[in-house]
Amino acid sequence: MSGINGAETLLADGDKARPYWMGNNYVAQTINSATGTGLLTMVTGAPGYFLTQLGFQCAATTTTAGGATVSIVFSDSVFGTIANFQLWVPASAASPATPFILRETNEGPHIFNNRAANSVLSVNVLTALSGGSIRCFCRYGITNYLG
């Protein structure tokens, strides 16, 4: 059985075939003192893309000058801000005595569907880091299903 405009086909076993997308790709960018507050490209939709997960991991020794709330902004070149994570980052941070992970995600199944051809997903912080790093990541798919 064909879907709308051939967007998906229901197979005999109940699964769906989607000929206009390929998904479950993964990409990450690391923000540190050298990257400042500039945009880092994560995904270029060629022609479009959809997101199934956004998130970040913050190193235990990440710092800012004077301590500040750091906004991590995921934005699309056509639609603007998609997600904004915020966390407090101190002016100084010693290495912890025990292992821990500071990780946050925004999961789907689908959290954003960009149907504008060739737009770009980027990430940046609004407050520069003075030490450590924040690793930003997403899972995405590329789609030809535009409009």
pLDDT at 46 (0 to 100): 73
* Strand-pair category, 48-58 with 68-76: unpaired
In whole angstroms, give the CA distance from residue 81 to residue 78: 9
In whole angstroms, give the CA distance from residue 28 to residue 133: 13
Show the domains of the chain with their CATH numbers: 21-143 (2.60.120)
pLDDT at 147 (0 to 100): 58
Tens of pLDDT, residues 6-23: 455 555 566 655 555 667
Tens of pLDDT, residues 49-85: 888 899 999 999 999 999 999 999 999 999 999 999 9
Tell whether the model's pLDDT for residue 2 goes beyond 60: no
In whole angstroms, give the CA distance from residue 93 to residue 110: 36
Q: What is the per-residue DSSP string for 71-138?
A: EEEEEETTTEEEEEEEEEE-S--PPPSS---EEEEEEEEEEEEE-STT-EEEEEESS--SBSEEEEEE
The model carries a pTM of 0.81
Q: What is the mean pLDDT of residues 1-6?
A: 44
Confidence at 106, pLDDT banded by 50, 70, 90: confident
pLDDT at 10 (0 to 100): 54
